[in-house]
Chains A and B, each alone.
Chain A
Amino acid sequence: MRISFWHLSSFLISLFVIIPIVTVFSSFFEDTSNYYQVLKDTFLVEYIFNSIFLLFSVLLLTFLIGTGSAYLVSFYEFPLSNFFKWGLILSFAVPPYIYAYSLTAFFENYGTAFTILKNLFGDGNYNQNIPKFDGLLGVILSISFSLYAYVYILARASFLYQSQNIIELGKNLGFTKFKTLYSIILPSARPAIIAGLSLVAMETLAEFGAVDFFSINTLTTGIYNSWIAFDDLAFANRLSFFLLLFIFALFIIENFSRKKAKYHFNSRGGFKQKHKIKLEGKKSFLAFLFCFSVFFLSFLFPLSQMMYWTLKFPENLFELQVLDLLKNTLYLVSLSSLVLIIFALISNYGNRVTKNKVLNVLSTLSISGYAIPGVILAVAYITFITWFDENVIKSLGFFSIKKIFIGSIIGLVLVYFVRFYSLAYNGIKSGYEKINIAVDESAYLLGYSKRKTFMNIHVPFLRNSLLFIIILVSLEIIRELPITLILRPFNFETFATTAYISASEDLLEAAAVPSLFLILIASFFIIIASKYILRENNE
């Protein structure tokens, strides 16, 4: 009986994830509007080219920024290096679309840069000399400065766990610092770096807000447009299929790399703090300059731009229903976290007590939702509910369920669940990996029932992991845009949707206030999370 319960719950969770994939696939058997023909004759090649160009540019930039800064703060001591080790994660608080607003606001004609020059040097025709970071370049910069932290975090964790001996061995063999870096340090951190880059790749392909803002046509915006502008769900799903194929290839690479990375961590007897090399003089200044530039460009720049506008146009602050937005955000965060944690706990516990292979496969499947772009998830979800409502519910003579599941909190939480389940599942799983199975068995032999073992041993031990998951889920939901935008109930806004709507109406100044709040709240969560990460690393 117990086994079947675990199977059932894991099966249900997997089913949630499979639904959008199957829906996307089934689009090949449906008619599409003539948008498909129009697109095929006109922009389809451009969509694909833009997506690929964007992907590789972002990968290159995030690799250089993420690995470079991780290398410097992991191995060297220079001014503010201790601050940078968590300060560089703060870029996560600025989603690419908000970065895009800042970039435009600063460099546009008569924008902030113009104002600064005017205040410094008086009136002049500065616009023609101010570089413009819009279009594809703007998107590349926005995504890269927001997402490099994936590479930074994973590369740094890997550098921290590298044995001092390996690096000393390099010195002993007479390698230069550069040769040590590329022949010893980078190869042994490769799985972690690839895992980080794969996450960046998936997020880039899924990115909606920034590409939409700069009017760059990619596969993701194509999906959104075919649904919004042409009301062609079938074609939206067909485009999604191609994007998904590409993403699943990345997902497999990422999974494979992460397994290796995990092995790499576990093979160490324990973490040993390395002696950092103290940099002096010019080298110290250059290291500081690099990290500070990254910190400034990725975090301080968008933050100060948003603050500047908020202060410049204070009326926007008073017009915005901050408390309502905060209430909505907290409501979504707490409900989603609760549902995610309950299911992730059940599934992990089921895996632990049954050690069943089928269950394991189901669990792996159930965490693949994070690879599916939010736009696809939302569109596929609507497609499925509509189909299910018309073909199953109504044919059985029941009332339509569309209103319950589309444009409702339930729908929003369900799709968040699919998208963020891997965060909760993997978070609890890594917590569980620290509890030896002999601990459970000792508890049984001490007379504990399975329930008592779970409540008295597992839950208290997993408390920190659960807290960390809540922080991560909150961070994701606060920043999340496409799912919320498509599925939110009428008149239900979050900071992200309010900022997006203002920006899409060309009211960037009004977008500044919700963006600023979003950055501040997200920063708060990141600071708490980074303390947790630093503690885990014994730093």
Chain B
Amino acid sequence: MNNFFEVKNVDFVAGGKTKVRNMSFAIENEGDVICLLGPSGIGKTTILRTIAGLQKIKNGSIELKGKTISSSDVNVEPEDRNISLAFQENSLFPHYTVEKNILLGLEKNKGKKEKQIDLKEILDLLDLSNILKQYPHQISAGEAQRTSLARTLLTQPDLLLLDEPLSNVDQSFKEEIQIRLKKILKNLKISTIIVTHDSYEAFYLGSKCGIIFDQELRQFDDPYKLYHLPNSIDVVNFLNRGVLIPAEVTSPKSLENKDLGTITGNFIKPFPIGSNVQLLVQPEDLHHDDQSNLKLEVVDRKFRGTNFIYTLKTPSNRLIPVFVHSHHIHQHEVSEKFGIKRPIHIDHIVCF
């Protein structure tokens, strides 16, 4: 069966420079949401602009609903693609009020879709009701971004492209919007590609996520696998949720580290016994135990509301993060000793 949307072997180019090479990925079913992650300037926006038809491609192809919309010799004009892009920068029409700007989205959509989007629902979702009569220069960057998002959602396109959609939105409001946005996209079955550098946002909104750097799509997978089964050290470093420590494979189900001792678990990729590897240790892999005789020194402690993240120093001067529930009975100060539960067992062992 054909994918709903597919990018095949495309080089994404901006300003004469190739930003991402030979990229391929797909949205399998209508209504799926995928997210693209990567550091700033890597070409994420270029990908969206190209998909929207604002930039042309020289090789490969882009297909939507079985039709080629971009290739070396096909380029459907942006206005004929039924793809909407919410720009990260302010793209509101400066001489129209917020209301008129939003209604332009509705105008485009008129009569096209059976299941019509509810204007009030969108205004409530994005908390825009109070600024409808204002002009773009009278509102804040966050409000402009929400207005732009509303206008884009109301077009109910075949494919929605969101470029850092919540980057200017207040943290307190962000999570609520994420929840409601996800619900709307699901209800209306709007296929969406979201570009972001916030991995939490990507993991929440996307059924699949792609990580881009060094001009390549390095991994395209569901969020769980991306996090727990990263396919390269670069992906681990980008997600920045764990550390790599040296270890020796001692059996098909165990490794030995000089500081932590024996670690057991299931290898996601087999390594020969006796080989020296880099083991990924994520904050949730180690557990606190005051009674344990494996004690490490606390060098930092971050309070994250629901938990603490302790940074511990091993005898060989490596720093390891460990999660502890914030209701844990007592706290450890910097320089104090911190017990690690033994034996150490990690469900899926990721080594490189």
Contacts and interface: CB of A to CB of B under 8 A. Distances in A.
Given A436-B89, A438-B87, A438-B89, A444 B94 contact: no
A429 B30 CA distance: 43
A438 B78 CA distance: 13
B85 A445 contact: yes
B89 A460 contact: no
A444 B78 contact: yes
Nearest to A355: B15
A227 interface: no
Interface stretch (A71-79, A93-101, A446-454, A477-485): A446-454
A464 to B, nearest CB: 10
A441 B87 contact: yes
Interface string B150-182: 010001000000000000000000000000000
Contact of B105 (A434, A446, A457): A446
A445 B84 contact: yes
A439 B104 contact: no
Interface in A406-449: 434-436, 438-439, 441-449
A444 B89 contact: no
Given A444-B78, A445-B79, A438 B105 contact: no
A19 B57 CA distance: 41
Contacts of A461: 93-95
Contacts of B85: 441-442, 445
Contact of A435 (B94, B148, B155): B94
By size class, the interface of chain B is 20 to 34
A412 B218 CA distance: 65
A444 B95 contact: no
By size class, the interface of chain A is 10 to 19
B238 to A, nearest CB: 27
Nearest to A462: B95
A450 to B, nearest CB: 9
B91 A444 contact: no
B92 A446 contact: no
Contacts of A442: 85, 87, 91-93, 148, 151
A439 B93 contact: yes
Interface string B174-208: 00000000000000000000000000000000000
A204 B144 CA distance: 48
A438 B49 CA distance: 10
A436 B95 contact: no
Nearest to A440: B91
A439 B79 contact: no
A441 B54 contact: yes
B91 A441 contact: yes
Interface in A14-43: none
B75 interface: no
Given A434-B94, A439-B94, A441-B54, A446 B89 contact: no
Contacts of A441: 49, 52, 54, 78, 85, 87, 91
B141 to A, nearest CB: 11
Interface in B79-117: 79, 81, 83-85, 87, 89-95, 104-105, 107-108
B77 interface: yes
A120 to B, nearest CB: 57
Nearest to A443: B93
A439 B89 CA distance: 9
Contacts of A446: 79, 84, 104-105, 107-108, 151, 155
A457 B54 contact: no
9 contacts: A434-B94, A435-B94, A439-B92, A441-B78, A441-B87, A442-B92, A444-B77, A445-B52, A445-B83
Please provide the 4 A-B residue pairs with the shortest distance between their CB atoms, ordered closest to farther: A438-B91, A444-B78, A442-B91, A438-B87
